[in-house]
A = this chain, B = another copy of it.
Amino acid sequence: MPASVQYKTRQKDELIRYLSTVQGKHITAGDVVKHFREQGEQIGQSTIYRQLERLVDEGIVSKYTIDANSPACFEYIGAESHQGAEHCYHCKCEGCGKLIHLHCEEMEEFREHLKKEHGFRMDPFRTVFYGLCEDCQRKGNEAQNK
């Protein structure tokens, strides 16, 4: 693809700068909108959506779909790690809604296995493990013992 011309704009710069300050965290487009609104640095929300999407295309930002109805999560990856970056996996607690992201060697191995033995190439950006976090397991047991 011929990578059409890209203007350098204040909005894009500020967006990237903000994203890099929350590297490693998941944020939604709404979070970003709110952040800039609170800072007084106005960036229109359509710009934020459009730039985020562009950054995802460029590989600078990852986009995760947690589930159909909650807003998409974005995470700054950075330009350097762009190719072959290691990504993290996501566990969503159905009890409290908490999202846990983990870097996990075993997961990587299992993904290999899926690929080799089952021919399935799993997409870590889309796959989310649902279940219960430690806290909610405890609470659940307490509830059962009542």
> Which residues of A approach B to under 8 Å, CB–CB?
1, 63, 65, 67-69, 71-72, 91, 93-94, 100, 102, 104, 106-107, 109-110, 113-114, 117-123, 126-134, 137, 143
Contact across chains for A143 and B68 when beta carbons are under 8 A apart: no
Which chain B residue shows the least CB distance to A67?
Answer: B65
Smallest CB–CB gap between A63 and chain B, Å? Answer: 8
Which chain B residue shows the least CB distance to A138?
Answer: B119
In the assembled complex, which residues on chain B have CB atoms less than 8 Å from the CB atom of A120? Answer: 91, 93, 100, 129, 131-134
In the assembled complex, which residues on chain B have CB atoms less than 8 Å from the CB atom of A133? Answer: 119-120
Contact across chains for A134 and B110 when beta carbons are under 8 A apart: no
In the assembled complex, which residues on chain B have CB atoms less than 8 Å from the CB atom of A110? Answer: 106-107, 109-110
Smallest CB–CB gap between A93 and chain B, Å? Answer: 8
Q: Which of B65, B123, B126, B131 contacts A122 (CB 8 A)?
A: B131
A-B CB proximity, top 9 nearest: A126-B130, A119-B134, A122-B131, A68-B72, A65-B68, A123-B131, A110-B110, A121-B132, A106-B113
In the assembled complex, which residues on chain B have CB atoms less than 8 Å from the CB atom of A63? Answer: 68
What are 8 A-B contacts with C-beta separation under 8 Å? A63-B68, A93-B120, A104-B113, A104-B117, A109-B110, A114-B129, A123-B130, A123-B132
